[in-house]
Amino acid sequence: MCVPPIEEDKNKTPVGDEYEADAEPPVHDKYKVDDSHETKAKVSHDDVIYRIERIDHSIIDMKEMMNTMLSEAAAERKEQRQFRKEQREFRQEQRQFTKSVTEFINSYTDNSFNRSYSDTPMSNSYGELFK
């Protein structure tokens, strides 16, 4: 038995991307809508430059804000150091004053008791209390 040869249709669309000259494009290409203009954002050169400048200004503003915050923190630390220094000086003056007053009271008490009550037996006990 002999199989007759298959006649090829010249209008038949071949498989793949190549088309014969007489062939019609495949159905999916024939009815395809060109929406590439909708999906691709068209941004002009000026828009890109504007956006870059806005980003640059934002970065500059953030740097300025950060520098301001750092200088404020440094000023606050300086104020805190000055305050602690003044506190130390004040406590030192307080200790010195307390020491002076204590010495004065002790010297006055010792001298007054020793001079006034030197003959009485109680003078020694009071004198010992204030030493």
Percent over 70 (pLDDT), the chain: 51
The answer to whether residue 35 sits within a structural domain is no
| pLDDT tens string 68-126 | 999 999 999 999 999 999 999 999 999 999 999 999 888 877 665 555 555 555 555 55
Could you tell me the maximum CA-CA distance found in the chain, to the nearest angstrom? 162
The answer to whether residue 48 sits within a structural domain is yes
The answer to whether residue 118 sits within a structural domain is yes
Q: 25, 19 in Cβ contact below 8 A?
A: yes
Backbone angles phi, psi at 36, to 5 degrees: -65, -30
> How many domains does the chain divide into?
1
pTM of this structure: 0.40
The answer to whether residue 23 sits within a structural domain is no
| pLDDT tens string 28-46 | 555 566 555 555 567 788 8
SS3 111: helix
Q: From 89, 90, 131, select the one nearest 111 (Cα to Cα).
A: 131
The answer to whether residue 87 sits within a structural domain is yes
The answer to whether residue 32 sits within a structural domain is no
Q: Which domain holds residue 94?
A: 44-129
Q: Give the best-scoring range by mean pLDDT among 20-24, 65-69, 105-109.
A: 65-69
**Cα separation of 69 and 77, whole Å?**
12
